[in-house]
């Protein structure tokens, strides 16, 4: 590879600087909006002018970043990499695209990343030097999006005997319910109706028609990287069955399980996504002295009223203990089960809503919602690389497997979500 040109270095430095400035602007804009909402001044003309000007600056910088990114990538491809875009997913020349029916483990074993390890004798001896392998693309963002929309979790494994009997893993059912999309940007913005005042009325001839009111609000979310690494002995590289189990059963699951936890309860600090329970503007329904079935219906009503009837609650997300409390509810007079009892088919609905129990939801805080109003935007699909350069791994004869994705999460409209508090009281 030719030495990196001064133009390339300057462009990359400028790109990094602009991305940092843009991230700061987005945070400032969100803080401005949050403060206005708290003060009740979000509808004032003064605020709208200031916010509009601030977002224009942010949008203009985002466009500059996109143009500079394209220039940098093309420049590097033309001058240093023989026409190959260095930012494109890793797929060396001559390597066929992954077979859609292959498991993630098989794709890794057929990739040039694995060839990199084989050429160095890693699969034959523990003394071979590893360094850091290239990143093999296990699933592009569209395919990874599709895995979140199915219950299978990842492509099926080829017929073989497992080398490892894994621990049981919690299902990733919550990701099957929300909207999953893709994005090419560093930030994702959602614009939603905040206020709709219907002033339609019977009006006589010659009288001006009443003017309605329609106000909009917006939210932004930064794309965050979600990496996950696991240690292993070097010998696993010489055992295809164990390697398959490691990749399919642990690495891919680890990234997606963390993603699911973040979707529910991410606190938005640092590199955390902002999950449903920490989104500004979601509704809250204390239990008080109400029965469990009653407070669930109270939450449903809160959503219908807050959204002016636009949203209909369809799902209740609950910790398994809270789901159990609801299912085992009994009448005060006859002491009969309200949801059918042990001899009836399993009760998985409440007031017509699907009840989804999962440990990702905090105990005592179930969420009544229309999950289609939650959106996960995937920017980069699942990649996998490995290295023996982590900490003391080289001397300990271990390797680190690193899996990662990039995504943003937000609510299209927070009024479609209601958290029930003190459900376990």
- Per-residue confidence (pLDDT) for residue 254, from 0 to 100: 81
pLDDT at 166: 54
For 301, which DSSP code? H
Helix (H, G, I), strand (E, B) or coil at 399: strand
User: Sign of torsion, CA 276 282 286 287?
Assistant: negative
292-306 vs 320-327: helix crossing angle, rounded to 10: 110
Residues of the chain below pLDDT 50: 1-4, 80-94, 151-164
pLDDT of residue 127: 65
Return the pLDDT at 81: 46
What pLDDT is stored for residue 2 in this prediction?
44
pLDDT at 89: 41
Sign of CA dihedral 276, 282, 283, 288: positive
pLDDT of residue 155: 40
137 three-state secondary structure: strand
Q: What is the CATH number of domain 98-194+213-425?
A: 3.30.2400.10
Q: In Å, how far are 63, 214, 256, 339, 419 from 318, measured between CA atoms?
A: 41, 34, 19, 16, 10
* Domain ranges for the chain: 6-79, 98-194+213-425
Whole-number pLDDT of residue 264? 94
Residue 351 pLDDT: 92
Query: Does residue 103 sit in helix, strand or coil?
Result: coil
Query: Which residue, 209, 212, 169, 214, is CA-closest to 195?
Result: 214
Sheet strands (E) in 29-113: none
């Amino acid at each position: 590879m030719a030495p990196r040109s001064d133009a390339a270095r300057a462009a990359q430095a400028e790109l990094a600087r602009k991305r940092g400035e843009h991230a700061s602007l987005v945070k400032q804009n969100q803080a401005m909006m949050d403060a206005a909402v708290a003060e009740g001044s979000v509808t004032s003309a003064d605020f709208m002018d200031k916010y509009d000007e601030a977002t224009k600056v942010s949008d203009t910088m985002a466009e500059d970043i996109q143009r500079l990114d394209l220039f940098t990538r093309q420049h590097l491809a033309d001058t240093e990499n023989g026409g190959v875009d260095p930012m494109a997913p890793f797929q060396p020349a001559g390597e066929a695209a992954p077979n859609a029916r292959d498991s993630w483990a098989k794709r890794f074993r057929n990739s040039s990343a694995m060839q990199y390890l084989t050429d160095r004798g890693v699969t034959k001896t523990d003394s071979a030097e590893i360094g850091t392998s290239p990143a093999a693309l296990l699933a592009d963002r569209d395919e990874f999006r599709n895995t979140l929309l199915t219950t299978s979790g990842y492509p099926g494994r080829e017929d073989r005997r497992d080398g490892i009997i894994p621990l049981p893993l919690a299902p990733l059912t919550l990701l099957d319910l929300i909207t999953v999309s893709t994005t090419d940007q560093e930030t994702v913005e959602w614009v939603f109706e905040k206020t709709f005042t219907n002033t339609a009325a019977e009006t006589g001839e010659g009288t001006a028609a009443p003017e309605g009111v329609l106000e909009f609000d917006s939210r932004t979310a930064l794309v965050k990287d979600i990496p996950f690494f696991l240690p292993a002995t070097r010998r696993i590289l010489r055992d295809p069955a164990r390697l398959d189990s490691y990749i399919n059963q642990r690495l891919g699951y680890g990234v997606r399980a963390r993603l699911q936890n973040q979707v529910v309860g991410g606190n938005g600090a640092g590199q955390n996504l902002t999950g449903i329970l920490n989104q500004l503007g979601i509704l809250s329904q204390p239990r008080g002295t109400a029965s469990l079935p009653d407070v669930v219906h109270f939450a449903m009503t809160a959503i219908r009223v807050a959204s002016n009837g636009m949203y209909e609650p369809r799902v209740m997300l609950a910790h398994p203990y809270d789901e159990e409390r609801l299912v085992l509810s009994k009448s005060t007079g006859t002491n009969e089960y309200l949801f059918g009892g042990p001899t009836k088919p399993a009760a998985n609905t409440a007031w017509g809503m699907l009840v989804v129990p999962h440990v990702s939801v905090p105990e005592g805080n179930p969420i009544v919602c229309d999950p289609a109003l939650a959106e996960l935007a995937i920017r980069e699909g699942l990649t996998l690389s490995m290295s023996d350069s982590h900490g003391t791994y080289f001397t300990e004869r271990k390797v680190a497997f690193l899996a990662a994705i990039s995504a943003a999460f937000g609510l299209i409209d927070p009024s479609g979500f209601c958290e029930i508090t003190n459900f376990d009281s």
